[in-house]
Structure 1
Amino acid sequence: MKAAAFRRFGGPEVLELVDLPDPRPGPGQVRIVVCAAGVNASDWKKRQGLMDQELPQTMGHEAAGIVDELGAGVTDVAVGDRVFGFSAVAGAQAELAVLSHYAPIPPALDFAAAAALPSAIETAARALDQLGVESGRTVLVNGASGSVGSAAVQLAVARGARVIGTGSPATHDFLRSLGAEPVAYGAGMTDRIRALTPDGVDRALDVAGSGVLPELIALAGGPDRVVTLADFAGAEQHGVRFSRGDAGRALYVLARIGELVESGRFTVPVGQTFPLSEVAEAHRVGESGRVRGKLVLVSG
């Protein structure tokens, strides 16, 4: 099979398609013919050598496609089913992938939209769980318009929380459509938030990593009420929890998201798609920050 990989660290130009043996599913796993695979910031961080030093590396951890082989003990899906989920090892940006955690694709979604889901919804659900977000809470999401931020907004709204979301003025209509009360970030953000909720918020989630943890701590009433997904140094400095998957992943959300999608209460916009052969261009576009919405590689 063909798979996206790199043999040295560097810019997008180090990416190439290589021939690898077809993977085989182990117990509890399924193999899919990949129809779409998500592209995330972690992909280019790995390519730059910022996350680990192993070489060579294949790319991608989330994909959607059609089941073509079952591992031992798998009874919840059949060959030919449409599924999405997380790959067992890096390498979802390929013609074939083995999924260790998966769920049926909601009927309303095509493959690209399904491939945009796993990382965004797992990350968002995990952070909301760590914050204890539930009905009646007021939650601030800093950086609410990206794929993870918008997922957090919608999942928090589905839990019955009131959500205030920060973003540029150009994103405010989009944030309202998700159920959030939008606030412009930048100078004066705290005053604008207190105009909506004079007593502050119950919890705050930092998705943007924009250096505002002190403000979020003040609004939420303490560092124990704030979680960041993007500011590791700030988390250490201010005593805020930095959410990471190795502390426990919210994989249950894969099976639960279908109901929200089918009822029209959840979406992750796909910003742009690329064929697998153009994975380097997908990285260039992603790193530029020019596209709002998820970047997805598609077959064909």
Structure 2
Amino acid sequence: MSGNKSELPQTMAAVLLTGHGGFDQLSYRTDVPVPTPAAGEVLIRVGASAINNTDINTRIGWYSKAVSGDTNAGGSEGFDDINDDDASWSGIPLQLPRIQGCDVCGEIVAVGDGVSAERVGERVLVRNLQQPPGSDNPFECFTYGSECDGGYAEYTLSQSREAFAVNSQMTDAELASFPCAYSTAENMLDRMNLSNGERVLVTGASGGVGSAAVQLAKRRGAEIIAVCSPSKADELRAIGADQVINRGDNLLKMLGKDSLDAVVDLVAGDQWPELLDILRPGGRYAVAGAIAGPLVELDVRSLYLKDLTFFGCTYQPRHVFENLVSYIEKGELKPLVAKRYPLESIVEAQQAFLDKGFTGKLVLLPQRDS
């Protein structure tokens, strides 16, 4: 291992996920061993991480096929009937305990064999959706903080190739608001090839991915209709929404049949059939979340008679994250950090996340005062 090893502590603060369930499955500890980078890895001092839906979903086992309700239904206490064998997003049993946190901004403080020592001191963002080393399967991927330990700690490991140097005047907290939410949103827009002048609807637009999609779609020159609660409408307009529709309003009545080129959906739920009604023939639908419930009613005739294209969006090509870093460095994106929390307040932060009384991201600051 290269780096000033003598200055690194032996133990660190971290939050361990000990099982699927409620907040009681999160254990804040200060005696967790600081990991040592293996060949091809870097050790990062975490400056900031952030809360994401995937953290909640994994903790409560929402990905299990035994669950049919929305995320909030089990957000605090978990679900009574889940199958641990399919309760992770990948369908593979989670290795516990696990340090979650797929958003990481920090500084490389040590490197493993085969990694240039010149990387020590670099400020980096970690790619949240990663491909296993040596894999040539484009859809074989894993989530940082799920299939490996992540950023809910003072120190974390990453493959060197997945730690991207970033040159920005933003704070660690601001930069940590980008990786998961913005790469998810950019991937959806990239898949559907959203173009200048097209009309796109974004559901769940005040959340992390939704607000990211608004900014990124505006960057592409699209006309954006955002769906959110009335209290957040002005914030969505400020970041690029051309029209805001109240959550729960009848979309067909508000927008008209066949009126949109594309839909970016993060909600699903009971209102889902309306999304197909408002798409024009040849329209595109991209989905990367189902916070209002994963089971929807699909009239297959709408799909084939209107020549619609559906994109299920999890895997992200490497260029998506590379592009995101370039947008950040060029100052084309505005960070939306609603509130910062110390790592030990993770339960408070996740409860605030579930309450949805904010726009953008909630950020965790792992480093303790010395």
2:353 is the alignment partner of 1:286? yes
More helix, by proportion: 1
Give the whole-Å Cα distance in 2 for the aligned partners of 1:280 and 1:130. Answer: 35
Match of 2:9 in 1: none
Gaps of 5+ in 1: none
In structure 2, what is the equivalent of residue 90 of structure 1? 149
Q: Which segments of 5 or more consecutive residues in structure 2 lack a partner in the other structure? A: 1-11, 63-86, 129-143, 304-308
Give me the whole-angstrom Cα distance separating, in 2, the residues matched to 1:177 and 1:116.
18
Please give the alpha-carbon distance, in whole angstroms, between the structure 2 residues aligned to 1:283 and 1:178.
Answer: 25
8 A Cα contact 1:39 1:60, kept in partner: yes
Q: 1:104 aligns with which of 158, 162, 165?
A: 165
13, 28, 49: which one aligns with 1:37: 49
1:225 match: 284
Aligned positions, number: 295
**Correspondence 1:2 to 2:13:** yes
Q: Is residue 156 of structure 1 aligned with residue 217 of structure 2?
A: yes
Q: Per-residue displacement from partner, 1:69-110 (whole Å, max 9, x unpaired)? A: 224444597211211123472331111112332323342310
Contact (CA 8 Å) 1:2, 1:94: kept in 2 or not? yes
Contact 2:258 2:277 in 1 (8 A): no
CA distance in 1, matches of 2:298, 2:43: 40
Q: What is the CA–CA distance in structure 1 between the aligned matches of 2:191 and 2:42, rounded to whole Å?
A: 30
Match of 1:295 in 2: 362
What is the Cα deviation at residue 27 of structure 1?
4.7
* CA 182–71 in structure 1, closer or farther in 2 if over 3 Å, else same: farther
**Amino acid corresponding to residue 234 of structure 1 in structure 2:** V
**Contact kept? 1:217, 1:225, Cα under 8 Å:** no
TM-score by length of 2: 0.71
Partners of 2:346 and 2:240 lie apart in 1 by 33
Shift of 1:229: 2.1
1:268 to 316, 331, 335: 335
CA apart distance, 1:59: 1.4
- Whether contact under 8 Å (1:33, 1:65) holds in the other structure is yes
Q: Which amino acid aligns with 2:50?
A: G
Q: 2-side partners of 1:254 and 1:287: how far apart?
A: 27
- Residues 124 and 42 of structure 1, relative CA distance in 2, 3 Å threshold: same
Among 274, 296, 309, the alignment partner of 1:234 is 296
Separation in structure 2 between the aligned mates of residue 27 and residue 222 of structure 1, nearest angstrom: 51
Q: Structure 2 CA distance, aligned partners of 1:266 and 1:45?
A: 27
In 1: Cα distance, 2:189 partner to 2:341 partner: 31
Distance (Å, rounded) in 1 between the aligned partners of 2:311 and 2:322: 25
Structure 1 residue 112 displacement after superposition: 0.7
Q: Contact (CA 8 Å) 1:228, 1:235: kept in 2 or not?
A: no
Task: State the superposition RMSD in angstroms.
Answer: 2.7
Percent of aligned pairs with the same amino acid:
31
Q: Distance in 2 between matches of 1:22 and 1:28?
A: 17
Q: Deviations over 1:101-124 (max 9, x none)?
A: 232334231001111111011111
Q: Distance in 1 between matches of 2:52 and 2:36?
A: 25
Shift of 1:2: 2.7
Radius of gyration: which is bigger? 2
Match in the other structure for 2:263: 204
1:213 aligns with 2:272: yes
